[in-house]
Chains A and B, each alone.
Chain A
Amino acid sequence: MERMTEEQVKTIANMLRKRSLWMIHYCTGCGAMELPPTMTSRYDMERFGLAPYVTSRQADILLITGYLNVKTLRRVITVYEQMLDPKYVIGFGSCALNGGVYWDSYAVIKQLDRYIPADLYIAGCMPRPEAIISAFRHLMELIDSGKADGYKRYKRNLAYYKENQRKVLG
């Protein structure tokens, strides 16, 4: 048997990964409200192989649902660093994207991307289940084409991220 090239292995692996995505949702904000309907019978995200999981070691996707503040950011970073590669981050709702309604708050982290690499954002305050599902579908495409490489970016630009984190967390 001919040895499979690395490329082929990667393609197969990516195919598997996109079909089975386990997420750990970090529910800080109101946006998490829309997840239960997405999981239950109306929209049923298990159709796509998506399932909620419990600990950081088991999950593939970190879902930041809503605003982050200084206190929660530290936890998010811990969780993210504990997850196993390949891992993906989705910023959920305007708050994670740019601060949303809390754009002028002193305590809220406005831009998730400066602290951990987000692969995808879902806009909306709060995003509807349809939007969530379409975001996951998009993530699957990204994974398939190998473009969801946030975890590689984090490793490559570790200094940059750490610097930003340090500025906020002190």
Chain B
Amino acid sequence: MVKMILIAIGAPLVAFAIGLSFMMIKRKIVARIQRRYGPTIIQPIYDVLKLLVKEDNISHGVIFSLGPIIAIAGSILAVFFIPMAGFSMLTGSGDLIALLYIMAIGSLGMALGAGDSANPNASIGISRALTLMFGYDLPLVIIVISVALQYHTTNLSDIVAAQANGNWTLWTLPLSAIVGFVVTYGALGEHPFDIVTAPHEVATGPMVEYGGKHLGFLMISHAFHIYIEIALFVDLFLGGASNILIFYLKMFAVFFIMIMFDEVLPRFKIDDAVRFYWKWPTVVALISLIIVLVK
């Protein structure tokens, strides 16, 4: 019982800490890639806290304020369904397929909030976000199906357990893993898929009217979001982990490689992004799926 409560409180905190640490590291690495010195390592913490202690906050209505809250609530929910370093938490209450939809709760809440800001930039941003989501969802479901068929289960804990002893999906289904990696870019909105928030085009899109504590909450939920996407990738393809340190290292490796590509890429147009996802990643994912089916 005590252990359960500890996990219930601990898991979101650990997830947040991991996500936040990635945000910190990202800014530093990006600065180094651009041959800058970069901010102090804990700069994101300052940013979030500063936003939270703003004296003045504005709101366009109840739904506007609920947006960031639902975003965080949805993220916390998703954290519980992803096995973290041996703790499977709620994976028995919802499998991989349910998780795909649970992960959408936060974004949809956020979308509602942003829509309420009565700003066309926000609307365009959401329109792009959903279109992009539709784009990367096709390859994503194909690789999820491949993995589920590979292990004859959709339970994430079982999938992790089946990959024990270095028998990772990355080795058995390398094509799916590559597609999964490309999909994670879109899901995180990294370059070249940062179409949603594109500051130069739609003034940070959905976040255009958010400031102060609302924006602080959105940054917190972004930290969760980073954790969720990468942890899912690690669980599906890199065999999860038995302790938190190895889990962190695996996640870090994935994230590090991501930023390396991320920083040197330009930005897609939204329809090109969808076309891209529906072309090569889908074809490769289908090939991988057929391999699983035939095997």
Contacts and interface: CB of A to CB of B under 8 A. Distances in A.
Interface stretch (A27-35, A42-50, A121-129): A42-50
A54 B204 contact: yes
Given A16-B46, A55-B204, A57-B210, A44 B37 contact: yes
B31 A46 contact: yes
A106 to B, nearest CB: 33
Contacts of B212: 57, 84
Contacts of B272: none
Interface in B122-162: none
B269 interface: no
Interface stretch (B52-60, B92-100, B108-116, B223-231): B52-60
A47 B38 contact: yes
B207 interface: yes
A44 B38 CA distance: 7
B54 A85 contact: yes
A58 interface: yes
A150 interface: no
Contacts of B39: 46-49
A5 interface: no
Chain A interface size, under 10 / 10 to 19 / 20 to 34 / 35 or more: 20 to 34
A49 B199 CA distance: 19
Contacts of B27: 46
Given A16-B50, A20-B50, A44-B38, A49 B43 contact: yes
B209 interface: yes
Contacts of B56: 84-86
B46 A40 contact: no
Contacts, number: 80
A37 to B, nearest CB: 12
A84 B51 CA distance: 10
A17 interface: yes
A149 to B, nearest CB: 12
Instruction: Give the interface residue-count category, chain B.
Output: 20 to 34
Contacts of A57: 58, 208-212, 215
Contact of B36 (A40, A55, A84, A85): A40
A57 B36 CA distance: 28
Contacts of A20: 43, 46-47, 49-50
Contacts of A54: 199, 203-204, 208
Contacts of B172: none
A44 B36 contact: yes
A84 B50 CA distance: 12
A84 B46 contact: no
Contact of B203 (A55, A83, A85): A55
B40 interface: yes
Nearest to A83: B211
Interface in A3-45: 12-13, 16-17, 19-20, 22, 40-41, 44
A44 B204 contact: no
Given A19-B46, A47-B37, A58-B211, 8 more contacts: A16-B50, A20-B46, A22-B47, A41-B34, A44-B38, A47-B40, A84-B212, A86-B56
Interface of B: 27, 31, 34-40, 43, 46-47, 49-50, 53-58, 199, 203-204, 207-212, 215
Interface of A: 12-13, 16-17, 19-20, 22, 40-41, 44, 46-49, 54-55, 57-58, 60, 83-86
